Structure 1
Amino acid sequence: MTHQASLPDHDGQRRSSTAVPPAPALEVRSLHITFRERRSEVHVLDGLSLQVQPGEFVSLIGPSGSGKSTLFHIIGGLTAPDAGSVLMDGQDVTGEKGRIAYMPQQPALFPWRTVEDNVLLPEELRGASKTAARENARSWMERAGLAGFEKAYPHTLSGGMQQRAAFLRALMSPQEVMCLDEPFSALDALTRSDMQRWLLDIWEDTRRSVLMITHHIEEALLLSDSIYILSARPGTILKRVEVPFPRPRREDILNDPSFISLKTEISAIMREEQHKH
């Protein structure tokens, strides 16, 4: 959607001008990659393209083995594509590391560091004042329900608390784009539901640009502004779904007929794709 802005003309009158929309926070253009072994080739991505606008929460769902994790490795600069490019704020960053904040499936907290020291690690690495970093970390930990656990070590926390700490560490990274790789997949159903509500509250305050991998359609609809449905391998985008529900969102939306209808539509697309292979 474009916005009209009025600018003074040479004669002093106001004229209308169309404002240039900002570049996507993240843009993936026509990625292709094939992994080659001695006697075989595995075609993983086939012209995959997607965008994450500034402040947008985007989910990517698709079958297992469809190249979702490979996509994250390419975005993070860990794997080079055969063709295609990765752009951030309109700048080509293909192959560059350190451009995203990343949260893997497992919390991956350093066991020898306290929870607080894990959370403030990104600010420590970029040379921020230790006092300011610690104050910031403690403020976020209090909001995340981790107050009182600052000096605890990761192994003493529940799975949900470890995931909160891992998310806060990603949140405190200076990068604008956050990539979340099935962050709640290892949690039980009740803890997962709690984490979804918590993430909604935190994200709605910060509005970071997020790309999240999930297999959970309901989770994607609850959290996201838009959803990309990925095909089976070789991965390409089958459809982009705009999520129409206003924010802030709460769990009671799960029972809304329009929510159920959209969930059914996405399920049908994914089932049809599975039956092709």
Structure 2
Amino acid sequence: MNLQQDEQVQPGRGASVMEPTHGEKLHPAPPNRPASPASIPPALDVVDVHASFRERRSKLPVLNGLSLTVEQGEFVAIVGPSGCGKSTLFHIIGGLLKPEEGQVLMNGHDVTGQRGKISYMPQQPALFPWRTIEDNVLLAGEVASSAPPRAEALAEARKWLSSVGLAGFEQAYPHMLSGGMQQRAAFLRALLSPQELMLLDEPFSALDALTRSDMQRWLLDIWEQNRRSVLFITHNIEEALLLADRVYVLSNRPATVLHEVHVPFDRPRREEITEESAFLERKRQIAQWMREEQQKARLS
């Protein structure tokens, strides 16, 4: 499959959408997950967001009219150059920062600048060392205003701890677990949060290659079971294509969406697709876009 084809501009977004040649169409939603009806708003809609930081007397633009969506039950990945503003975008979605312009909508409601609307998993597990794994997993529910009774939450947590391979470690402390096991506990904490939208900020970047591959397979299996709406930041193009339904490619800072890639591979998805020609063509195309952005940064 040759991806050096004409690109269609998505109305109102300004980003090119990768389309295949030879008459093949990539669906707006993955083949095994129909697109949400028009009456159902997206889980997340970031609309024309602008943001900048003050640097002494100067202004450092970070986001430049960035727009993206995550449909209900969709897994969306973001890739882009280092320092382009991906983490700033997450801070805005989570309500920690307020954009200079633009809106953040969740389920059709304006939540710009509001906190407590998302579940979040950072690059590091960020488990409290004085709490057991069980208590760390329960933390998200404890701080939520709509938390279930502890007995009910504990039963749910224990069921999931068993299903993710952490049975027998409920009373262990974080330092007693491997890096991959800590990441599983951190992901489970986010998964059991009452907020439907999950933001995952490079959750596997600190892991070695083998553990990272194991965690990718694990995440695919867990996500297939619950189909939460996910926005996932990664620098790894293969990881983005393996996990996501769509991939947004961001520009250098100030970031905007350069390209939107629909990932057409069936679910449940397995690691073997990374060796298929269609997968490799998309990987090469995104890598080329990233190299072009790096070259622009060096010349600027």
TM-score under structure 2 length normalisation: 0.85
Percent identical pairs in the alignment equals 66
Q: Which residue of 2 aligns with 1:49?
A: 67
Contact 1:101 1:171 in 2 (8 A): yes
After TM superposition, give the deviation of residue 39 of structure 1 in Å.
2.4
Please state if 1:123 is matched with 2:141: yes
Q: Which residue of 2 aligns with 1:210?
A: 230
Please state if 1:224 is matched with 2:251: no
Deviates more, 1:118-127 or 1:102-111: 118-127
Please state if 1:66 is matched with 2:74: no
Q: Which residue of 2 aligns with 1:173?
A: 193
Classify the secondary structure of the residue corresponding to 1:120. helix
Equivalent in 100, 105, 110 of residue 87 of structure 1: 105
Equivalent in 139, 142, 165 of residue 159 of structure 2: 139
1:54-99 residue CA offsets vs partner (Å, 9 max, x unmatched): 0000000000110000000000000111101100001000000000
What is the alpha-carbon root mean square deviation over aligned residues? Answer: 1.2
The 1:142/1:62 distance shift into structure 2, 3 A limit, reads: same
Contact 1:124 1:133 in 2 (8 A): no
Q: Which residue of 2 aligns with 1:40?
A: 58
Aligned residues: 261
Classify the secondary structure of the residue corresponding to 1:169. helix
Runs (5+) with no aligned partner, structure 1? 3-18
Equivalent in 48, 57, 61 of residue 30 of structure 1: 48
Higher RCO structure, 1 or 2 (CA under 8 Å, sep 6+): 2
Q: What is the distance in 1 between the residues matched to 2:68 and 2:210? A: 32
Q: What is the distance in 1 between the residues matched to 2:294 and 2:161? A: 41
Q: What is the distance in 1 between the residues matched to 2:236 and 2:157? A: 30
1:34-70 residue CA offsets vs partner (Å, 9 max, x unmatched): 1112222211000000000000000000001100000
Q: Which residue of 1 aligns with 2:287?
A: 267
Q: Within 5 Å, which residues of 2 pair with 1:215-254?
A: 215-254=235-274
Q: Which residue of 2 aligns with 1:160?
A: 180
1:207-248 residue CA offsets vs partner (Å, 9 max, x unmatched): 000000000000000000000000000000001000010000
Q: Which residue of 1 aligns with 2:22?
A: none
Q: Which residue of 1 aligns with 2:3?
A: none
Runs (5+) with no aligned partner, structure 2? 1-26, 29-36
Q: What is the distance in 2 between the residues matched to 1:20 and 1:180? A: 27
Equivalent in 108, 117, 121 of residue 126 of structure 2: 108
After TM superposition, give the deviation of residue 124 of structure 1 in Å.
2.8
TM-score under structure 1 length normalisation: 0.92
After TM superposition, give the deviation of residue 121 of structure 1 in Å.
1.6
Amino acid aligned to 2:174? P
